[in-house]
């Protein structure tokens, strides 16, 4: 019995240390995720919070009420409108290109896909700064259309690459069968290919919408001071040390992103992801 007790005594400290390590790792991860979020929540309800107090001296919903009264609601509406227009425009532009690249009907298809990826391969600030110079020459700076166009620079990356993978995941034999039965190429695309790609279209739309809703650098350079979206509004509030307004704005901006990411998990199928490495 003594011999059988020895291994148990050796395994118990090892199992205890493993449990402690896992608990510490979970605590660190929760702190990294929940900590900043808790700080935002506290600042959003802090009507008075001065150093060295660990918690707000006075809490309330004063700054949340300002959402429905001030410029924040206007910035939110403008952000949603710009994101919606950007999403629709990006899909209309990207779906034909993606279909042609997926079916190898475009000359230099891989090179074209790389061109769409280039804006994300470099730091965004110099890319958007160069684009801003052109926008001023074309009288698009400080306009709604200019902000939509600068958002499409990044949005097209998501739509083109995602939709190319989606169309490649759809077998060509289905299209060939429709054409053999007398359907034209256009009719086959709109009646067969596009309906089959609908989950991928929704996934692409969600990705572009989230990107446009959160885009800051291009909006600030191209749209300021006439087009103020929610991220720009949050940046301005932070510069003025209005931490309560900035925290409320950040929480409002986070809600649609979280909901859309949950929805994205439903539509972005595993078979689409398998084709990203083959583009």
At 149 the pLDDT is 92
Q: Which domains can be identified in the chain, with CATH numbers?
A: 2-60 (no CATH), 63-278 (1.10.3720.10)
d(CA 199, CA 171): 15
d(CA 17, CA 13): 6
d(CA 30, CA 247): 20
pLDDT in tens, 41-85: 888 888 888 778 788 888 888 888 877 776 788 888 899 999 999
> How many CB atoms within 10 Å of residue 247?
22
Query: Is the predicted pLDDT of residue 1 greater than 70, yes or no?
Result: no
Residue 137 sits at the vertex; the CA angle it makes with 152 and 128, to the nearest 5 degrees, is 40
At 85 the pLDDT is 96
Beta strands 46-48 and 58-59, pairing class: antiparallel
- Which two structure tokens, joined as six digits, stand for 113? 């896909």
User: What's the chain's Rg over C-alpha atoms?
Assistant: 25
d(CA 48, CA 41): 14
- Which two structure tokens, joined as six digits, stand for 259? 């909901």
pLDDT band at 89 (very low <50, low <70, confident <90, very high): very high
- The phi-psi region of residue 229 (left if phi > 0; otherwise alpha if psi is between -120 and 50; otherwise beta) is beta
At 10 the pLDDT is 56
Whether 218 contacts 232, CB under 8 Å: no
Which of 86-95, 163-172, 235-244 is the least confident region? Answer: 235-244
> How many CB atoms within 10 Å of residue 30?
10
pLDDT band at 7 (very low <50, low <70, confident <90, very high): low
pLDDT band at 277 (very low <50, low <70, confident <90, very high): very low
pLDDT in tens, 103-133: 776 566 566 666 666 666 667 778 788 888 8
pTM above 0.85, yes or no: no
């Amino acid at each position: 019995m003594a011999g059988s007790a020895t291994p148990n005594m050796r395994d118990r400290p090892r199992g205890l240390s493993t449990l402690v390590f896992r608990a510490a790792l979970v605590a660190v991860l929760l702190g990294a995720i929940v900590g900043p979020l808790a700080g935002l929540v506290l600042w959003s309800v802090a009507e008075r919070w001065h150093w060295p107090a660990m918690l707000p001296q006075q809490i309330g919903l004063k700054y949340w009420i300002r959402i429905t009264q001030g410029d924040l609601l206007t910035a939110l509406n403008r952000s949603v409108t710009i994101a919606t227009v950007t999403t629709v425009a990006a899909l209309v532009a990207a779906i034909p290109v993606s279909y042609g690249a997926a079916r190898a009907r475009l000359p230099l298809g891989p090179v074209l896909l790389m061109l769409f990826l280039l804006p994300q391969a470099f730091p965004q600030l110099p890319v958007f700064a160069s684009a801003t110079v052109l926008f001023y020459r074309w009288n698009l700076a400080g306009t709604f259309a200019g902000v939509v166009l600068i958002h499409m620079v990044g949005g097209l990356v998501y739509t083109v690459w995602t939709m190319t993978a989606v169309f490649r995941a759809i077998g060509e034999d289905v299209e060939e069968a429709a054409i053999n039965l007398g359907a034209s190429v256009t009719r086959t695309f709109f009646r067969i290919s596009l309906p089959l790609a609908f989950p991928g279209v929704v996934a692409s739309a969600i990705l572009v919408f989230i990107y446009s809703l959160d885009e800051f650098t291009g909006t600030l350079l191209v749209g300021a001071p006439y087009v103020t979206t929610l991220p720009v509004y949050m940046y301005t509030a932070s510069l003025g040390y209005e931490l309560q307004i900035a925290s409320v704005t950040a929480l409002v901006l986070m809600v649609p992103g979280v909901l859309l990411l949950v929805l994205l998990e439903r539509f972005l199928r595993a078979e689409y992801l398998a084709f990203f490495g083959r583009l």
